A and B are shown apart, each in its own frame.
Chain A
């Protein structure tokens, strides 16, 4: 079974702190994604990566950065956390192999509270 794990299920941080959210997948997938999920707004794509050291902005990249130094790991960084970044953060991965590339696998999510 594909497994996508996220470093924390729950996180509480203070305004202005630097926050790291880590995501690891064990299926050698090329593509990895970070979403945030908010009531009434659904899931929105923050950043994605299609290869090591490669990244592309999603729909709402402002206030975030990402890092992908190894294929299996994709980190989301909040340089200076703000209260409007309180949200559920979901990581996902997807293969590029034809026949397997239609499915995104999601992690369990990290619920971040910024005080």
Chain B
């Protein structure tokens, strides 16, 4: 499985933008880039995913480098509720048959948001 590298921790102030980086230099052409986050005492929740183009949704934006070897999750205005562990995951494109689309979680980035 292709690996991702993220900083162990980052800090931000409330209402400021946050840029969470992820390196994935061994990404294959069919790997999707997924981001999940895990709030304290909860299961992970989906944030966003993309393949080649930048993506936006109500939670965040995902900026993908042109060579796809890195990506950045952007929280436009951090709130205290965004304090969580953020996981960058490469997911192989769903294959036929047992299309379980395995997610391999790394250590993630612990985001601390200061009031």
Interface residues of A, Cβ cutoff 8 Å to B = 4, 31, 33, 35, 40, 42-43, 45, 48, 50, 56, 58, 90-92, 94, 96, 101-109
Contact = CB atoms under 8 A, between A and B. Distances in A.
Nearest to A4: B43
A104 B42 contact: no
A108 B42 contact: yes
Interface residues of B, number: 23
Given A92-B43, A108-B43, A109-B43, A101 B105 contact: no
Interface in B86-107: 91, 94, 98-107
A50 B32 CA distance: 20
Nearest to B108: A42
Contact of B44 (A43, A48, A102): A43
A101 B102 contact: no
